[in-house]
């Protein structure tokens, strides 16, 4: 009987644990739903990070998505010292590929976010961190693309010797428009996703985040289920 029990225990595998960085936007929601579909046996956790002047609605939508996805737990970290360029006392002129970065860019944001996620991942014994960056992000921001992610993974290997933890961006080859199409196919609750750069409780319809979202839904002929203070037309 003892031998039978031992064999049973040896044959059982501990479920893989995955940590998803969840912002509340479409991209990270798709990354979460993709993990749930492709690895239904995994234990999925989510993490959101609140920074200075982050929209309360965005944080609320991230929590809604986590609940609907059935994650094991949703962790929130407060980092209010992190400020976007426009909120800093001495705004810096930061350019990338010859263009000035948007005012909502947070210097070294993803390096900090990834590091926080790595710390949380080790505390729950997760071996994978998943982020929702897409190809458009990689083309427009310096701390997003495959090279940056591989560099961070090298840092992880040096920081956590003997602990096999990796950061992955499964959407990095897809455009935002393609990711939206994937959201529909995966059944992501788009009514619970947040794209606005503003502080309100409703999408403003004026910021670049809202305008990009409206344009993508319009181009793909998909009804956008969220409300706007203002609807932009072509």
Q: What is the pLDDT of residue 100?
A: 80
Tens digit of each residue's pLDDT (9 = 90 or more) over 188-226: 999 999 999 988 899 999 999 999 999 999 999 999 999
Question: Is the CA virtual torsion 87, 93, 99, 105 positive or negative?
Answer: negative
Please tell me the number of Cα atoms within 13 Å of 108 on its side-chain side: 7
State the architecture of 16-177 in CATH terms: 3-Layer(aba) Sandwich (3.40)
Contact criterion met (CB below 8 Å) for 34 and 22: no
Contact criterion met (CB below 8 Å) for 24 and 31: no
Tens digit of each residue's pLDDT (9 = 90 or more) over 136-181: 999 988 899 999 999 999 999 999 999 999 999 999 999 999 999 9
Q: What is the pLDDT of residue 17?
A: 97
The domain spans of the chain are: 16-177
Tens digit of each residue's pLDDT (9 = 90 or more) over 43-97: 999 999 999 888 899 999 999 999 999 999 999 999 999 888 777 766 667 777 7
Task: Give the integer Cα–Cα distance in Å for 205 and 217.
Answer: 13
Q: What is the pLDDT of residue 10?
A: 44
Mean pLDDT of the chain: 90
Q: What is the pLDDT of residue 91?
A: 60
Tens digit of each residue's pLDDT (9 = 90 or more) over 96-137: 777 887 777 888 899 999 999 999 999 999 999 999 999 999
Question: Is the CA virtual torsion 199, 201, 205, 210 positive or negative?
Answer: positive
DSSP per position, 49-98: EEETT--HHHHHHHHHHHHHHT-S-EEEEEETT---GGGSSS----EETT
| Residue 210, burial from CB neighbour count under 10 angstroms (0-12, 13-18, 19+) | buried
pLDDT at 7 over 50: no
Instruction: Characterise 219 by phi-psi region: left (phi > 0), alpha (psi -120 to 50), beta (else).
Output: alpha
Q: What is the pLDDT of residue 11?
A: 43
Instruction: Characterise 139 by phi-psi region: left (phi > 0), alpha (psi -120 to 50), beta (else).
Output: alpha
pTM to 2 decimal places: 0.88
């Amino acid at each position: 009987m003892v031998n039978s029990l031992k064999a049973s225990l040896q044959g059982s595998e501990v479920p893989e644990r995955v940590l998803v960085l969840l912002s509340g936007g479409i991209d990270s929601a798709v990354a979460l739903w993709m993990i749930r579909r492709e690895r239904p046996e995994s234990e999925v956790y989510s993490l959101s990070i609140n920074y200075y002047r982050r929209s309360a609605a965005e944080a609320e939508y991230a929590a809604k998505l986590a609940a609907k996805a059935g994650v094991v737990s949703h962790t929130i970290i407060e980092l209010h010292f992190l400020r976007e360029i426009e909120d800093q006392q001495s705004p810096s002129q930061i350019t990338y590929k010859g263009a000035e970065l948007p005012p909502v860019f947070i210097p070294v944001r993803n390096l900090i976010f990834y590091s926080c996620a790595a710390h949380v991942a080790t505390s729950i014994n997760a071996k994978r961190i998943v982020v929702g960056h897409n190809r458009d992000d990689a083309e427009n921001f310096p701390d997003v693309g495959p090279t940056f992610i591989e560099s961070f993974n090298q840092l992880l290997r040096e920081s956590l010797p003997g602990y096999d933890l990796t950061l992955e961006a499964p959407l990095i080859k897809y455009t935002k428009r393609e990711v939206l199409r994937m959201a529909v196919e995966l059944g992501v609750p788009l009514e619970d996703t947040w794209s606005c750069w503003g502080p309100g409780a409703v999408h403003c319809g004026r910021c670049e985040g809202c305008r990009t979202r409206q344009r993508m839904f319009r181009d793909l002929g998909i009804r956008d289920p969220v409300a706007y203070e203002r609807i932009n037309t072509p």
